[in-house]
Structure 1
Amino acid sequence: MRRLFTSIEHINRALWSRVNNATYVNTDSLGIFRAITGIFLLYYYFSYTWISDLPQALFNPPILSIANLFDSFPSYYLLRIIDVGRLILLVAIIIGLKTRITSLIWLILTIIAASFQYSLGKIDHDGALLLAMVFVLSYSGWGKAFAVWPDTNSRYDSTAGSMAVFAVIICYGMFTAGMGKAMVWVDFDLQTSGFASWYYLGLYDLNRDRLLAEYVPMIPFHFYEILDYAAVLLELSPFLFILMGRKAWLFWLLTASLFHLGNVLLLNIPFANHVLVYLAFIDMSGLTQWLKQNKRIIYLALGTAGLMFLTHIYFLVSQRHYWGLNEVMKMDRTPFELYSALILWMVLTVVIGKIFLPAHKE
């Protein structure tokens, strides 16, 4: 029995060692990524005050929900305090102001607000990995570089460990999604298609008819079956690729980015949050010296963040409800998120491709 436990321990260490090697990035890279994360969240920021105007009859939170501790939707003023607090905390995250604690407080406020949003009976899962990322990377040391008030060392901090844990969370999430699809989509029946069901439901129920969506019916129906199996294979495979090493993991990230880019173009499903999720594993430490020599880029990024912050503050104060920058741009939320996601996925695909291809040739 002792030998068995020893063998299991050796295997466990070996597996985690491979995950560490495939996913590690240093604190300089994480410092840059932290600022990008804050700017990203500022761009997609919106207010939760609309919840206060909902009829109390709609209040039906899940059992495992913070909202279940309340008897009804919160007041307008409580939600406004949460909105302003989240906004200020994002600025603190961008400039690196005690990032660990500010990240965790932002996370708590966001979970509280989202709990009331999900009390209507529909839970969106596309933000789950983003919230998990903020929690895990709070202990990665991402507040040590490019920070106004850097985080001090903590016994809970582990850069390699945090990145490895976050990668495993991604792999597990993808695997569970793939298993669900596999049980329905892999049926070897050319008359049915999971891709087609998503397309037509999105087209007629959600008006997802932008970009290349109008050309989907021109694709031979049996080709949809290939797309079904490709999606299942992609979502079931990340554990395998992450254990094969850094190059294999980059290849999976590149493939996943192309997959999401295809979803944006054909199905009009943005999943923009996953851009950050994948970007976390891209080593940006090579930009450190370049940024120090070209501080205008830093000033431009900070200026852009400051402009977005002031815009959000102005509309939060001047309006009862504020839906985000799409309102400032006079755009509906759907095309705003879709076209923004299109640009982000294209950029991420190019970035990962430029890193993977030279590494693959070595």
Structure 2
Amino acid sequence: MATRSNIFDKIIFDSFQLTPESLGLYRILYALFLLIFGVPNFTWISRFPDVFYNPPLLSLHTFFSGFPSYWFLLLVSLGTCISTVLLLFGYKTRLTSILLALFIFTGKSFAYSFGKIDHDFLIWIIPLVMSFSNWGAAYSLDAKLKHQDRVVQNWPVVLLALILSFAMFSAGLPKLLGGWLDISTHAVRGHFLREFYVNERQDLLAPFFLNLNSALVWEFFDYAGVFLEVFFIFAIIRPNLFRFFVICAIFFHVFNYLMLNIAFSINIILYLLFVDWGMIISKLRKHRMLLSIERAINFRSLLIVGLLYTSFYLIYITATESVTFNVSPLRFVLEDLMNLDSLIFSGIVIFLGLIVAVLNLIHFVSKKKDFSDSTIPKYMHN
């Protein structure tokens, strides 16, 4: 029993060991990702009548008999925006992370009250879980003000790995039980044809796959998808194996994007938590970029960025009459300025994640070592 307990302790507390610098950089990346792609606007919800109100079981429906008012949703949206800016600069990081999660949970409770829960729920869990990791220990105002020590916790990263694994498993198990491995049928091809003809997803490489008639290739797609999703959960016992599965998942999303024209670009930010940050930090340090990041973290920058972004955000969501759903207003502006449609813009995010995945894979193969940070300080071993 003691041995079994030691094994679980090792997986929970010794896996995915990251330095304060690794977590600090990931915090900045996560906040930037939200500011550009994912700070949602919830005010559109108030435009719908209560007849559409069909909240999920775990939500705030107990306190509301219908959709809340515009002003309530505006406050929730602004709270999400301001919390994200504060998280970017790492000010009162733990409190800010929890508040950000609460604001998003509140808004999403109503956004999901139309009878559909989107795939992006994994992304909104990150700040709540990572608030316990001390990801404000480096590259933050808290670090400069010495509000937080340098001791970081590994178990929140393991918890997110478990959540991701169960999400993958819950997607793969129905496929496994539903006959995806039956060699007499081609499930992926059937799904592709439905998307091509019914939903008219006919861009990128879709025409090429339409003319692909190899039964062996289509059956390989069936098996590869099921095996990736089902066995994801077993990879968590080894950090290097789990990170390899994460890299495979990024390739999987690139494949879905090119063939099915479906872009789960928002999932990329969760995958990037598990990459080899030690390798990335060493390259950034070589080009003195870490020093620039350190200098940019100050109260003057916080005030300027906070005022500019919050003003833009408030003006946009109050001036537009369009239904913006759960996408950052800045994304709409960038798409217009760059003259890109939503599919291509999402593809840019996916391929940026692919570049990181390829760099990590090359680093792993060339160094022949675990994907964990190359140097783990003694203070991280509790």
Fold-level similarity (TM above 0.5): yes
1:220 CA displacement = 2.1
Any gaps of 5 or more consecutive residues in structure 2? Answer: 371-382
Q: 10-19 vs 140-149, which deviates more? A: 10-19
- TM-score normalised over the length of structure 1: 0.85
Q: Indicate yes or no: 2:339 matched with 1:339.
A: no
Partner of 2:22: 29
Partner of 2:80: 86
Q: Aligned equivalents of 2:245 and 2:342: distance in 1?
A: 28
Say which SS state the counterpart of residue 142 (structure 2) adopts: coil
Say which SS state the counterpart of residue 154 (structure 2) adopts: helix
CA spacing shift, 1:266–1:53, aligned 2, 3 Å: same
Number of equivalenced pairs: 350
CA spacing shift, 1:21–1:215, aligned 2, 3 Å: farther
1:296 CA displacement = 4.2
CA spacing shift, 1:114–1:179, aligned 2, 3 Å: same
Say if 2:73 and 2:107, in contact at 8 Å, map to a contact too.
Answer: yes
1:141 CA displacement = 1.0
Give the alignment of 1:52-63 within 5 angstroms.
52-63=46-57
Q: Aligned equivalents of 1:138 and 1:333: distance in 2?
A: 35
Q: Indicate yes or no: 2:330 matched with 1:325.
A: yes
Q: Give deviations 1:134-190, integer Å, cap 9, x for gaps.
A: 221110110111111248559xx8612222222122222222221121112434233
CA spacing shift, 1:139–1:49, aligned 2, 3 Å: same
Any gaps of 5 or more consecutive residues in structure 1? Answer: 1-6
Say if 1:20 and 1:161, in contact at 8 Å, map to a contact too.
Answer: yes
**Considering only aligned residues, what root-mean-square deviation do their CA atoms show, in Å?**
3.0
Partner of 1:4: none
CA spacing shift, 1:29–1:115, aligned 2, 3 Å: same
Partner of 1:13: 6
What residue identity is the alignment partner of 1:314? I
Partner of 2:113: 119
- TM-score normalised over the length of structure 2: 0.81
1:133 CA displacement = 2.2
Q: Give deviations 1:305-343, integer Å, cap 9, x for gaps.
A: 766555424313433557323432336874265333333
Q: Aligned equivalents of 1:266 and 1:74: distance in 2?
A: 40
Q: 329-338 vs 126-135, which deviates more? A: 329-338
Partner of 1:46: 40
Q: Aligned equivalents of 1:322 and 1:297: distance in 2?
A: 36
Question: Out of 343, 347, 362, which is 1:354 matched to?
Answer: 362
Say if 2:55 and 2:112, in contact at 8 Å, map to a contact too.
Answer: yes
1:90 CA displacement = 0.6
Q: Aligned equivalents of 2:129 and 2:178: distance in 1?
A: 33
